[in-house]
């Protein structure tokens, strides 16, 4: 088959593996494919395999048959074509040595041309005849055993075993064939059966190697925006359990120069009831790596020079709040320069997703084209978040829970911070929160292979990690721009 086709465009590169040799690499995101998920992928795979296998040409067979009195007859069976293939039942099973996919009760229908000729001993007259025949193959068993390992951060799929066994084959000549022809053609049964077996097995192994190329060509990073990407490098071999496979990936936000400061690993993916096809667990450090990345990229600074109530940004309005300010700079416009003083810290617990943000708020006076910083207030802002899955993205929103202030320095005397409280609150609510929500709304992509979409996703928070439990759907492959090496036009 042009396995390509084979869709294994899996979910997450699921599949199979070899040894449960769990290496020590850190992983901050893990993806669990449950038995339901495996079944989904298997069905997809079987359908893709059938679609891409048909029509399948089987090499011509030539044979000399000895018939008493007549002598040697040369018979050729050509244009053997499998044009229909039905799989009665199939299953996928996780074994100790990998993943096994078995299709049983498979039937296939073939058409063929036959031709024979012989020269009689009566004279130099060649006698020949030809026609077409239809062939039914029944009770065919097809089995694949696959191994999957991580390989330099990617996945390597290997075929450990591939078998195709034909149980029963019947050949019917079309157009009222005589016993003579039927007897002759029956002599080909075994050879046709064997040929079907090897041709299908070859197609499958070709398919597995195409699929392997596909898996190896999967990107090691998923771009999030111009500044960030998600590192989706595999950090260990897939972990095989009784009825699930877990893939561990790095999962952190990355940018070439980012320093890695995180040091811990995830606990296992838990979806209630194990009924969803897929569970993707993200450690809170995934969010913290995003925060650190954007912090280091200096995207976390805002000059606030417009607020809903513009009079707030004039020293006249601050006259009673900071008398010295007004005295020094009467009726001057102001702006507020807010910058984070450390990366936001995300905390996840069973009840709560939250972030603590440390920020400096510098009060600037604008005088004669100059920006004069006059005071700086340290803020500790506490926000709580709500997470949401939209498409294949994990996004969310934050709201302000509370904040505290302290004076860092001032050129305009001591400030009465409690008087500033409402102004700072307004600034946080109207500038900071909407800015954060703008960015959080779209979120970032979850590591899901193209073509698959999450459905009925559910988010579960636990101590220091969140898990997205979801079913998946598969989009029409014709919309995929995926191209595999050996794919042929007919496959999509």
- Residue 88 as a binder of ligand NAG (CB under 6 A): the answer is no
**How far apart are alpha carbons 66 and 74 in whole angstroms?**
9
Beta strands 253-254 and 126-151 are unpaired
Per-residue interface string for the shown chain with ligand NAG, residues 431-470, x marking contact by CB under 6 A: ----------------------------------------
| Eight-class DSSP state of 368 | T
- Residue 111 as a binder of ligand NAG (CB under 6 A): the answer is yes
Task: Report the residue from 24, 242, 259, 370 that binds ligand NAG according to the rule CB under 6 A.
Answer: 242
- Residue 296 as a binder of ligand NAG (CB under 6 A): the answer is no
Task: Report the residue from 39, 84, 206, 333 that binds ligand NAG according to the rule CB under 6 A.
Answer: 84
Q: How many residues of this chain interact with ligand NAG, rule: CB under 6 A? A: 27
Task: Report the residue from 21, 23, 64, 79 that binds ligand NAG according to the rule CB under 6 A.
Answer: 79
- Residue 39 as a binder of ligand NAG (CB under 6 A): the answer is no
- Residue 407 as a binder of ligand NAG (CB under 6 A): the answer is no
**How far apart are alpha carbons 455 and 356 in whole angstroms?**
32
Which token pair is 413?
A: 């005397």
Q: SS3 of 28, please?
A: coil
CB 135 within 8 A of CB 61: no
User: Within the chain, how many helices (H) and strands (E) appear?
Assistant: 7, 24
- Residue 104 as a binder of ligand NAG (CB under 6 A): the answer is no
| Eight-class DSSP state of 258 | P
- Residue 250 as a binder of ligand NAG (CB under 6 A): the answer is yes
Task: Report the residue from 243, 310, 429, 456 that binds ligand NAG according to the rule CB under 6 A.
Answer: 243
Q: Which is nearer to ligand NAG, 242 or 478 (CB)?
A: 242
Of the candidate spans 105-113, 116-124, 382-390, 480-488, the one that interacts with ligand NAG by CB under 6 A turns out to be 105-113
Q: Which is nearer to ligand NAG, 233 or 288 (CB)?
A: 233
Secondary element (H or E) of residue 213: helix 189-216
Q: Which is nearer to ligand NAG, 168 or 182 (CB)?
A: 168
Q: Which is nearer to ligand NAG, 199 or 353 (CB)?
A: 199
Alpha carbon 279 to chain centroid distance?
12
CA distances from 355 to 286, 291, 324, 466, 472 (A): 13, 10, 35, 14, 30
Give min distance, CB of 347 to ligand NAG, in A. 23
**How far apart are alpha carbons 139 and 316 in whole angstroms?**
91
**How far apart are alpha carbons 143 and 448 in whole angstroms?**
27
Q: Which is nearer to ligand NAG, 168 or 342 (CB)?
A: 168
Q: Which is nearer to ligand NAG, 57 or 267 (CB)?
A: 57
- Residue 130 as a binder of ligand NAG (CB under 6 A): the answer is no
Alpha carbon 98 to chain centroid distance?
20
Q: Which is nearer to ligand NAG, 254 or 392 (CB)?
A: 254
Q: Which is nearer to ligand NAG, 211 or 229 (CB)?
A: 229
- Residue 285 as a binder of ligand NAG (CB under 6 A): the answer is no
**How far apart are alpha carbons 448 and 221 in whole angstroms?**
12
Task: Report the residue from 47, 104, 119, 136 that binds ligand NAG according to the rule CB under 6 A.
Answer: 136
What DSSP assignment string belongs to 291-329? HHHHHHTT--EEEE---SSGGGGBGGGGTTTSHHHHHHS
Residues 164-193 binding ligand NAG (CB under 6 A) are 168, 170
Tell which residue, 422, 346, 424, 336, has the closest CA to residue 379: 424
Give min distance, CB of 465 to ligand NAG, in A. 17
CB 340 within 8 A of CB 369: no
Alpha carbon 249 to chain centroid distance?
11
Residues 345-384 binding ligand NAG (CB under 6 A) are 360, 362, 371
Q: Which is nearer to ligand NAG, 225 or 441 (CB)?
A: 225
- Residue 426 as a binder of ligand NAG (CB under 6 A): the answer is no
**How far apart are alpha carbons 225 and 57 in whole angstroms?**
47
| Eight-class DSSP state of 431 | I
Task: Report the residue from 47, 97, 109, 158 that binds ligand NAG according to the rule CB under 6 A.
Answer: 109
Q: Which residues bind ligand NAG (CB under 6 A)?
A: 25-26, 79, 81, 84, 107, 109, 111, 113, 136, 138, 168, 170, 231, 233, 235, 242-243, 250, 254, 256, 303, 337, 339, 360, 362, 371
């Amino acid at each position: 088959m042009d396995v390509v086709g084979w869709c294994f465009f899996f979910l997450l590169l699921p599949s199979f593996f070899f040894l449960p040799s769990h290496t020590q690499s850190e992983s901050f995101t893990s993806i669990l494919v449950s038995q339901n998920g495996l079944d989904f992928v298997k069905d997809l795979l079987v359908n893709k395999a059938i679609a891409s296998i048909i029509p399948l040409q089987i090499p011509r067979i030539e044979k000399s048959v000895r018939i008493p009195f007549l002598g040697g007859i040369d018979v050729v069976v050509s244009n053997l074509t499998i044009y229909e293939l039905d799989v009665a039942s199939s299953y996928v099973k996780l074994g100790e040595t990998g993943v096994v996919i078995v299709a049983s009760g498979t039937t296939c229908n073939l058409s063929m041309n036959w031709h024979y000729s012989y020269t009689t001993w009566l004279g130099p007259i060649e006698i020949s005849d030809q026609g077409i025949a239809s062939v039914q193959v029944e009770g065919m068993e097809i089995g694949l055993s696959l191994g999957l390992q991580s390989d330099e951060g990617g996945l390597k799929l290997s075929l450990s075993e591939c078998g195709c066994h034909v149980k029963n084959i019947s050949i019917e000549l079309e157009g009222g064939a005589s016993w003579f022809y039927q007897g002759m053609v029956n002599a080909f049964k075994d050879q046709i059966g064997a040929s079907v077996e090897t041709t299908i097995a070859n197609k499958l192994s070709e398919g597995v190697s195409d699929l392997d190329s596909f898996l190896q060509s999967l990107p090691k990073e998923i771009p999030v925006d111009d500044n960030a990407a998600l590192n989706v490098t595999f950090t260990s071999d897939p972990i095989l359990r009784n009825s699930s496979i877990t893939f561990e990936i790095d999962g952190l936000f990355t940018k070439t120069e980012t320093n890695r400061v995180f040091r811990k690993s995830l606990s296992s993916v838990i979806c209630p009831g194990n009924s969803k096809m897929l569970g993707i667990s993200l450690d809170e450090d995934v969010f913290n790596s995003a925060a650190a990345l954007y912090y280091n990229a200096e995207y976390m600074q805002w000059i606030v020079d417009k607020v809903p109530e513009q009079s707030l940004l004039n020293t006249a309005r601050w006259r009673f709040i900071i008398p010295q300010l007004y005295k020094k700079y009467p009726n001057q416009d102001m702006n507020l320069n807010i910058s984070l003083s450390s990366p936001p810290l995300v905390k996840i617990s069973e009840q709560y997703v939250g972030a603590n943000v440390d920020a400096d708020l510098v009060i600037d006076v604008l005088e004669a084209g100059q920006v004069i910083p006059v005071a700086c207030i340290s803020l500790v802002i506490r926000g709580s978040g709500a997470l949401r899955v939209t498409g294949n993205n994990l996004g969310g929103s934050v709201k302000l829970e509370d904040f505290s202030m302290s004076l860092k320095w001032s050129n305009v005397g001591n400030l009465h911070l409690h008087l500033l409280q409402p102004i700072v609150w307004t600034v946080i609510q109207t500038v900071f929160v909407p800015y954060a929500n703008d960015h959080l709304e779209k979120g970032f992509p979850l590591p899901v292979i193209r073509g698959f979409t999450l459905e009925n996703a559910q988010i579960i928070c636990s101590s220091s990690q969140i898990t997205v439990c979801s079913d998946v759907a598969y989009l029409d492959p014709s919309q995929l721009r995926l191209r595999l090496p050996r794919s042929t036009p007919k496959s999509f």
